[in-house]
Structure 1
Amino acid sequence: MLFVLFALLVADFYSAQCVMCKAVGEESANQGGIGSGLNQGIFFLMAVPYILLGIAGIVLWKHFNKEGG
Structure 2
Amino acid sequence: MSKTTIKVNSNGSLLVSGEFEIVDKNGNNYDLGGREKVSLCRCGKSANKPFCDGSHRGHFEHEAEAFDLPKKP
Q: TM-score, normalised by structure 1?
A: 0.23
Which one scores higher on RCO, CA 8 angstroms, separation ≥ 6? 2
Structure number with greater Rg is 1
Q: TM-score, normalised by structure 2?
A: 0.22
**Structure richer in helix, relative to its length:** 1
